[in-house]
Structure 1
Amino acid sequence: MSVVILYGTETGNCELVADAIADVLAAEHDPSIYDMSEFAVEDLDPADFLIAVCSTYGEGELPTGAEPFADELDEVNPDLTGLRFALFGLGDTVYGETFNRGGEIIASMLVSRGATQVGEHARHDNSSAIKPAKLAEEWARGISGLIDPVSVS
């Protein structure tokens, strides 16, 4: 099973997080990393496991790097039944109600089209002392075991 990591970023932190996740997953999987702004919605494949890494910008909006992907999801409105995904969000608790809202928007868009979210929605807080890549590595170790679907006999 292929692992596709998509990141949507404003300042580049999500790309660093995507790289950290890929480094952990590379031991057991074959991850590919793509910028959401350059990934075609038509390339989403239920046979793959998707990891979305998304920051929050402004007052709870998607970052500029995620907008083309979200716009295309709205335009194409694909049936994503069977697609399993996990989410790593970046935000800052200073912003209260909109903390990590970008990741929540992407998750909602995927779920509303039939995709299934698995695992814990990681929420990095930029106000914490924990570096995003460090949290991503820990989270990826937990997600690794959820990537391959359990076969039912």
Structure 2
Amino acid sequence: MRITVLYGTESGNSELIAQDLAAKLQEDGHEAEVIDLQDFAPEQITPENFYLVVCSTHGEGELPNTALPFGERLDAFTGDLSGVKYAMFGLGDTFYEETYSQGSEIIDRRFAELGATRVGEYGRHDASSWDLPSDVALEWLPGVLEAAE
């Protein structure tokens, strides 16, 4: 399975998680690449790839800095993402109840509006927990891969 791991980050946590996910995928024999959302356009999304999106939340529930350009392009995108499968892993802090993990949810909602299908459980890391973000993501990954096949 060809997998593209996309990430949007403010402080670098999402990038580290994306790299750890890609390393695990490659170790398991998958073709995986990691791309910062600021370097990716919605027009590049194809049904031939499976997408893992790792995105943090910034400010009052907004997209993080590196995801802002992609978010703007995604809002303006009028293409059809039917047939595209993706999984979402959001980062946030439950201390901020109303905005927890909203950065990833912005992208998730727009993907769904454009016809893409999210598979597996919605992954999340809570910065208020003692859990390491990559550990949570790597625990989440097998269920997502199973759902994607």
Q: TM-score, normalization: structure 1?
A: 0.93
**In structure 1, distance between residues paired with 2:125 and 2:95:** 12
Letter in 1 for 2:107: I
Q: Does residue 32 of the first structure (1) align with residue 47 of the second (2)? A: no
**In structure 1, distance between residues paired with 2:88 and 2:10:** 17
Q: 1:114 offset after TM fit, Å? A: 0.3
Q: Does residue 80 of the first structure (1) align with residue 48 of the second (2)? A: no
State the SS of the aligned residue for 1:93. coil
Percentage of matched positions with identical amino acids: 46
Q: TM-score, normalization: structure 2?
A: 0.95
2:55 aligned partner: 54
Whether the aligned pair in 1 keeps the contact of 2:120 and 2:148 (CA below 8 Å) is no
> After the TM superposition, which segments of 4 or more aligned residues of structure 1 sit over 4 Å from their partners?
none
> Which has the larger displacement, 68-77 or 101-110?
68-77
Gaps of 5+ in 2: none
Q: Does residue 16 of the first structure (1) align with residue 46 of the second (2)? A: no
Gaps of 5+ in 1: 149-153
**In structure 2, distance between residues paired with 1:74 and 1:101:** 16
1:111 aligned partner: 112
| Deviations 1:12-38 (CA, angstroms, capped at 9, x unpaired) | 100001011112222131111100000
**In structure 1, distance between residues paired with 2:49 and 2:147:** 12
Tell me the matched-pair count.
148
